[in-house]
């Protein structure tokens, strides 16, 4: 005697009449006495009928004729020439791959930016940890250039920081931390190197009174990372143990990430995840050097530093944390990060007003949101809510106009096909009224 679970496993085969006669008889007998299994079978049959009833439209003979013409052209071209893929240069292939997988490269750009930033933080920390008397000595010129370069490269927004160095430790730092940074310079664009040498001169001037004073006042043109290490961990006494820790440096960084992927829902867009990870910047620098060699043809990602810095300042980061932001240009988000961060609270506030019953106030609030983020998906959402509220208050003409606005640029791009259909349905409904 089979139980319901066993019977339901056989329903597919039973439906398709592929069971042996005895098994089919057992199933039929069970179905006659068990409503649950009979309902399950009926449901499967309904689903099957639904799926079968929705076959494709006949695309028409013209379509097939046109398609066959294209196909024949392709086959003919294939017969005449050698496969074009074999003729392309290796570089063209690389570019082709890159065009086909832009996201993969975008990810690498972001990862590289973040890792460079983290490694530069380590350099600064290791300098701070030296804590020696002011009358000791100067850094060598090449060392200064490296340090200047490292900072220039990562564009960290450090507060003016004093750091002094001791000759005995300098060698060790050089060996442990920054000697591997130099090859990176070789593979970077000329402008980077220029600015790094300028910084080097600057540093040299400031070390005249045997102190090394860092102050990065010039905001460079591009930034990968915005960092706000307002309070670095208290510098421990310079012991051999610390030196050992520096020789194999590993730091903990917090990464704040905001998903900005295409088609993300509003909740997704505002969900921020903070992850903590331990990294070894030296190993990463080596990796970046290798990647830089491979990807020299790739244009360096550029970002608006002011935006990134404003974003970093707008949030209140944990002491010593590094914030990594996906930049405007990298992911082509059209609204600035700061605007997006306060859009959600405003939106929720407007929803609260709406649910409290003050429809006209809510409409005003939603309009404000829509006008402050005109090209954002938030604007679409806010506009939709306005339309819904107008519809609720009986202003059919206003609602109709507002719905139509949703189907026009710049809001339209944010609407999914399902949403568009829904809006169209509502417009049709209102138009009938």
Partner 1 sequence: MRFDAVPPDLLRRASEQAPGAFDELCTAVQVDLYAFIFSHLRNHDDTDEVLQECLYRLHRHLVKLDDLSRFPWWLMKMAVNQCATLKARSQKHDTVELEDNLELQGANHLAAATPPASPRESAQRSDMRRCVNEAVATLPPRQRSAIVLFELEHQPISEIARMLECSEGTVKFNLHEGRKKLRVILTETLADDVTSAPREVRES
**Using CB under 8 A as the criterion, which residues of the chain lie in contact with partner 1 when the complex forms?**
12-13, 16, 18, 43-44, 47-48, 50-59, 63-64, 67-68, 70-71, 74-75, 101, 103, 262-263, 265, 381, 384-385, 388, 412-413, 415-423, 425-426
Minimum distance of partner 1 from residue 65's CB (angstroms): 10
C-beta closer to partner 1: residue 174 or 373: 373
DSSP state of 179: G
Q: Which helix (H) or strand (E) holds 226?
A: strand 226-227
Minimum distance of partner 1 from residue 223's CB (angstroms): 28
C-beta closer to partner 1: residue 13 or 331: 13
C-beta closer to partner 1: residue 50 or 81: 50
C-beta closer to partner 1: residue 66 or 92: 66
Helices 141-154 & 102-128 angle (0-180, nearest 10): 140
Task: Give me 291's structure tokens.
Answer: 């990647």
Cα-based distances in Å from 361 to 130, 227, 349, 355, 378: 59, 39, 11, 11, 18
Is 187 buried (19+), middle (13-18) or exposed (0-12) by CB count in 10 A? middle
With helix as H, strand as E and coil as C, how does 412-426 read? Answer: HHHCCHHHHHHHHHH
Minimum distance of partner 1 from residue 31's CB (angstroms): 18
Which three-class secondary structure state does DSSP give residue 264?
coil
As a dihedral over the C-alpha atoms of residue 340, residue 343, residue 348, residue 349, rounded to 10 degrees, the angle is 150
C-beta closer to partner 1: residue 7 or 423: 423
C-beta closer to partner 1: residue 57 or 209: 57
CA–CA separation, 185 and 149 (whole Å)? 8
CA–CA separation, 60 and 52 (whole Å)? 20
Minimum distance of partner 1 from residue 340's CB (angstroms): 18
Minimum distance of partner 1 from residue 115's CB (angstroms): 24
Minimum distance of partner 1 from residue 72's CB (angstroms): 8
């Amino acid at each position: 005697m089979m139980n319901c679970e066993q019977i339901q496993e056989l329903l597919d085969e039973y439906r398709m009449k592929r069971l042996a006669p005895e098994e089919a008889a057992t199933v039929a007998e069970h179905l006659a006495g068990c409503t649950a299994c009979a309902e399950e079978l009926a449901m499967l049959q309904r689903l099957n009928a639904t799926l079968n009833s929705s076959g494709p439209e006949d695309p028409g003979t013209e379509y097939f004729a046109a398609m066959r013409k294209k196909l024949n052209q392709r086959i003919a071209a294939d017969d005449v020439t050698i496969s074009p893929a074999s003729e392309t240069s290796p570089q063209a292939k690389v570019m082709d791959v890159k065009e086909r997988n832009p996201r993969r490269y975008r990810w690498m750009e972001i990862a590289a930016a973040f890792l460079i930033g983290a490694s530069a933080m380590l350099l600064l920390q290791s300098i701070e940890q030296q804590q020696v008397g002011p009358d000791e000595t100067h850094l060598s010129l090449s060392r200064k250039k490296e340090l200047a370069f490292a900072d220039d490269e990562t564009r960290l927004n450090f507060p003016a920081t004093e750091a002094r160095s001791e000759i005995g430790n300098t060698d060790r730092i050089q060996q442990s931390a920054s000697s591997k940074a130099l090859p990176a310079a070789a593979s970077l664009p000329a402008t980077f190197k220029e600015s790094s040498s300028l910084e080097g001169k600057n540093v040299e001037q400031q070390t005249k009174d045997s102190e090394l004073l860092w102050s990065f006042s010039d905001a460079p043109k591009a930034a990968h990372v915005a960092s706000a290490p307002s309070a670095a961990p208290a510098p421990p006494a310079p012991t051999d143990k610390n030196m050992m820790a520096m020789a194999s440096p590993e730091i903990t960084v917090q990464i704040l990430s905001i998903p900005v992927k295409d088609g993300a829902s509003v909740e997704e867009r505002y969900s921020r995840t903070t992850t903590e990870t331990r990294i070894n910047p030296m190993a990463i620098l080596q990796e970046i050097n290798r990647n830089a060699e491979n990807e020299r043809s790739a244009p360096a990602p550029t970002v608006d530093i002011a935006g990134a810095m404003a974003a970093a300042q707008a949030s209140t980061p944990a002491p010593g944390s590094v914030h990594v932001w996906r930049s405007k240009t990298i992911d082509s988000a059209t609204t600035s990060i700061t605007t997006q961060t306060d859009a959600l609270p405003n939106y929720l506030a407007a929803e609260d007003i709406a649910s409290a019953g003050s429809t006209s106030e809510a409409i005003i609030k939603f309009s404000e949101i829509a006008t402050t983020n005109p090209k954002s998906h938030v604007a679409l959402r806010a506009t939709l809510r306005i339309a819904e509220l107008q519809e609720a208050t009986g202003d059919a003409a206003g609602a109709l106009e507002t719905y139509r606005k949703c189907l026009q640029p710049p809001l339209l791009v944010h609407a999914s096909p399902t949403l568009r259909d829904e809006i169209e349905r509502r417009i049709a409904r209102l138009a009938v009224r």
